[in-house]
Amino acid sequence: MTTPTTEAAAPPIDQPPTRVSIGLERSLTQVAQVIFRLEIPHDALPDGAPISRTGYWLLVRVSEQGSTRLSDLAERIELDTSTISRQIRDLVAAGLIARTPDPADGRAAFLSVTEQGAAVVEAVSESRRRVLAQAIAGWTDEERNALASGLLRLGSGLQCVRDGHALEPSATDAHEGQR
């Protein structure tokens, strides 16, 4: 029995089309849903500072940026500023994100993760790594490394396609034909 397939985004003319199984697409969607829905461990949070999954996701995005304006953050994650402003306001009130006035524009402010916010990101990340470790406990080091490498490569490829950039062959591609 063959698995039904769907075509991925159209490849450049000089490359043959790649077929992607429905199973691959669905399994990646399932993994994304499960990861996003993992609970935020309450012991990772400051006393009385609740944080939603969305708030945590925004906290991580700000920590990745270092320092960013709300409008730049909204643009990067492709949401309207009004959509994320309440979540950011809650993170500021909880002491997880700091607002610093932009000296060049008095109407704007820079957002950055506080020490407490960084500690929350690390605690939640560690908790999630423990969950992942349990999920792949029976895997070999080779299987875990192959998964990590493949997911990083997939993420880079998805970002390139999304941004309209040409995909560059990687060293891994050069070795594929040798296996």
Write down the domain spans for the chain: 21-135, 138-167
**What one-letter code names the amino acid at 30?**
Q
**Over its length of 179 residues, how does the chain's per-residue pLDDT go in tens digits?**
444 444 445 555 555 567 778 888 899 999 988 888 888 877 777 676 678 888 899 999 999 998 999 999 999 988 999 889 999 999 999 899 999 998 888 788 999 999 999 988 998 888 888 889 999 999 999 999 999 999 999 989 888 888 888 776 654 443 343 33
CB atoms within 10 A of CB 138: 6
Tokens representing 74 are 């909204």
**Nearest CA among 40, 108, 104, 116 for reference residue 73:** 108
CATH of span 21-135: 1.10.10.10
